């Protein structure tokens, strides 16, 4: 029973919940970028390279015909599917660029907020003020025949 309580405490911490939300949103966002690359960006690029589906570009390793689709060529033997790799690489580059822009924006917003907080003079804690009063009182008492001003 104690382990369940410990797990519940761990799972409900703010960082774990934030991480879970980030992973779920990131997965959905990844699918959006994947669709953007495969359905919008790669067809025109494939058209430029001969009108074929770019994901079907491969180098046959077992003397397969290059006229086969990628799936058929894989059934016939090993292939290097560089078209599929380039599609996934483009997905990564777009996703990394978008994340970079988001982090950049967050850093700029943070820089605008932090200087305002830094401009406020931090108040001196009460214990430090009391210690200063005691120090000043001891100095006055230690100096002989000095008038109190």
Which string of DSSP letters, residue by residue, matches 54-113? GGG--EESSS--TTS-HHHHHHHS-EE-HHHHHHHHHHHHHHHHHHHHHHHHHHHHHHHH
Q: What is the pLDDT of residue 149?
A: 52
3-class secondary-structure state, position 25: helix
Q: Range with the lowest mean pLDDT among 13-22, 27-36, 109-118?
A: 109-118
Q: What is the pLDDT of residue 54?
A: 72
Q: What letter does residue 59 receive in the DSSP assignment? A: E
Q: What is the pLDDT of residue 74?
A: 86
Higher pLDDT, 98 or 15: 98
Higher pLDDT, 91 or 101: 101
Q: What is the pLDDT of residue 72?
A: 87
């Amino acid at each position: 029973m104690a382990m369940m309580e410990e797990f519940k405490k761990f799972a409900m911490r703010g960082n774990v919940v934030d991480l879970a939300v980030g992973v779920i949103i990131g997965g959905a966002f990844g699918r959006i970028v994947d669709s953007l690359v495969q359905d919008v960006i790669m067809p025109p690029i494939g058209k430029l390279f001969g009108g074929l589906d770019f994901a079907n570009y491969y180098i046959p390793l077992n003397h397969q015909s290059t006229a086969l689709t990628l799936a058929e060529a894989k059934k016939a033997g090993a292939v290097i599917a560089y078209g599929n790799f380039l599609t996934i690489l483009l997905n990564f580059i777009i996703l990394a660029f978008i994340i970079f822009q988001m982090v950049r924006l967050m850093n700029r917003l943070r820089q605008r907020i932090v200087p305002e907080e830094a401009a406020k003079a931090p108040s001196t804690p009460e214990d430090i003020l009391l210690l200063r009063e005691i120090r000043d009182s001891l100095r006055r008492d230690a100096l002989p025949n000095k008038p109190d001003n």
